[in-house]
């Protein structure tokens, strides 16, 4: 029986600290990075609802341009390239490598599933020093639709030859896990931020504040 754990990447595995430093150079607002990321996710959700698709990087660029415009700031091509370039260099959280090794030691497949392009995923995993711990990775580009719409979860499962019941989706975003849960996957929440898991979303099967503990919960589960 093939078993796998799907991982979201940004904020779940990769720390946005480098990106925050770039935003802090231009904005005196501790929530500006979160606002930009929220705008980005909002646009991808609207595009998905309307059955339209553009590369996630393109949407990220538009969200950044809009952010500067809203705040009456000039966004030069150099600043734009610097901020978006940091997105490719995000470090992994300290608990990521130990957690991934736990899975590999138990012969559980490790797979990244992201809204980013395949090129971006490969570059991020490489720069974070964890690409060798992944068996494969899948992009929203494969299905022309973003998470949390079910297409990418189901497509990745099909390409891996996996039964839905044998997949656990790990993320720090409740909306991502809501989508995975609606697609039939088991879900696991890693608490990276001080915020409430949305009470009206389907709740995760597992949750923890560090990744190794979450992996041990998954491994001990009866269905695995």
Please report, in tens digits, the pLDDT of each residue of the chain (224 residues total).
689 999 999 999 999 988 999 999 999 999 999 999 999 999 999 999 999 999 999 999 999 999 999 999 999 999 999 999 988 999 999 999 999 999 999 999 999 999 999 999 999 999 999 999 999 999 999 999 999 999 999 999 999 999 999 999 999 999 999 999 999 999 999 999 889 999 999 999 999 999 999 999 999 885 55
Looking at residue 222, its pLDDT comes to 57
Specify the domain boundaries for CATH 1.10.150.240 within the chain.
17-86
Looking at residue 221, its pLDDT comes to 84
What is the distance between the alpha carbons of residues 39 and 46, in angstroms, rounded to a whole number?
11
Specify the domain boundaries for CATH 3.40.50.1000 within the chain.
4-15+90-220
The CATH architecture one would assign to domain 4-15+90-220 is 3-Layer(aba) Sandwich (3.40)
- 38 φ, ψ (degrees, to nearest 5): -65, -40
DSSP string across the chain: ---EEEE--BTTTB-THHHHHHHHTT---TTHHHHHHHHHHHHHHHHHHTT----HHHHHHHHHHHHHHHTT----HHHHHHHHHHTTSPPBPTTHHHHHHHHHHTT-EEEEEESS-HHHHHHHHHHTT-GGG-SEEEEGGGTT--TTSTHHHHHHHHHHT--GGGEEEEES-HHHHHHHHHTT-EEEEE--SS-PPPTTSPPPSEEESSHHHHHHHHHHSTT-
Fold adopted by 17-86: DNA polymerase; domain 1 (1.10.150)
Looking at residue 17, its pLDDT comes to 87
Looking at residue 224, its pLDDT comes to 53
């Amino acid at each position: 029986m093939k078993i796998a754990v799907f991982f979201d990447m940004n904020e779940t595995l990769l720390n946005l600290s480098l990106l925050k430093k770039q935003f802090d150079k231009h904005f005196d607002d501790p929530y500006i990075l979160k606002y930009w990321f929220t705008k980005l996710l909002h646009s991808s959700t609207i595009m998905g609802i309307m059955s339209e698709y553009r590369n996630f990087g393109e949407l990220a660029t538009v969200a950044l341009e809009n952010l500067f415009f809203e705040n009456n700031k000039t966004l030069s091509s150099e600043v734009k390239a610097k901020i978006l370039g940091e997105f490719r260099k995000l470090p992994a959280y300290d608990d990521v490598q130990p957690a991934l090794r736990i899975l590999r030691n138990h012969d559980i497949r490790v797979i990244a599933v992201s809204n980013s392009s395949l090129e971006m995923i490969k570059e991020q995993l490489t720069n974070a020093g964890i690409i060798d711990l992944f068996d494969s990775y899948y992009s929203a580009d494969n299905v022309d639709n973003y998470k949390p719409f079910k297409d990418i979860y189901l497509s990745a499962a099909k390409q891996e030859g996996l039964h839905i019941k044998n997949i656990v989706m790990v993320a720090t975003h409740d909306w991502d896990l809501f989508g995975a849960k609606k697609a039939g996957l088991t879900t696991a929440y890693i608490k990276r931020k001080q915020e409430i898991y949305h009470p009206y979303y389907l709740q995760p099967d597992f949750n923890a504040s560090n990744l190794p503990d979450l992996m041990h919960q998954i491994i001990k589960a009866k269905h695995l």
